[in-house]
């Protein structure tokens, strides 16, 4: 009984997330137009690429290595991981900053005028992904 409840919640969760993503996509196409939506999707693919790089370089090794490290040595390991994460974020911000300083680079309307909206969308996406992939016992609903 418990197993079937878990499956139905997982299916409902997936349907809700997929349906919401579809509706947001339709809304963005209507709001931005085809060309701007295409640029949005290209930028979103870049964000997803850097997210997977961050996961491969930092998160996956940390989840694999940290449990094997003695408790007394974990603060040093986590400090090194934080330094690596900070360096990666700094590098990504540097690349983005260099692109925006280049006067010849194309800046889509939705990014140039409403960059806060884009930032909020990116942060909320990461938080949602973290909540969905986290330990279900730690997430209170």
What is the secondary structure of 96-133 as a DSSP string? Answer: HHHHHH-TTS---HHHHH-HHHHHHHHHHHHHHHHHHH
Is 45 a residue whose pLDDT tops 90?
A: no
> What is the sign, positive or negative, of the torsion defined by CA atoms of 27, 30, 32, 35?
positive
Band (pLDDT 50/70/90 cuts) for residue 44 is confident
Band (pLDDT 50/70/90 cuts) for residue 51 is confident
Contacts of 132 (CB under 8 A, 6+ apart): 13, 17
Instruction: Please give the model's pTM, rounded to 2 decimal places.
Output: 0.60
Q: What is the mean pLDDT of residues 4-17?
A: 79
pLDDT tens readout for residues 64-80: 999 999 999 999 999 99
| Sequence ranges of the domains in the chain | 1-32, 34-133
pLDDT of residue 140: 39
């Amino acid at each position: 009984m418990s197993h079937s409840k878990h499956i139905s919640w997982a299916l409902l969760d997936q349907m809700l997330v997929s349906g919401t993503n579809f509706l947001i996509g339709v809304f963005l196409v209507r709001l931005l137009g085809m060309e701007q939506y295409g640029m949005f999707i290209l930028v979103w693919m870049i964000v997803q690429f850097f997210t997977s790089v961050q996961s491969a370089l930092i998160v996956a090794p940390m989840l694999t290595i940290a449990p094997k490290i003695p408790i007394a040595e974990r603060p040093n390991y986590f400090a090194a991981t934080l330094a690596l994460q900070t360096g990666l974020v700094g590098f990504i911000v540097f690349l983005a900053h260099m692109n925006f300083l280049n006067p010849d680079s194309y800046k889509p309307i939705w990014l140039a005028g409403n960059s806060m909206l884009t930032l909020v969308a990116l942060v909320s996406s990461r938080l949602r992904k973290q909540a969905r992939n986290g330990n279900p016992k730690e997430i209170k609903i």
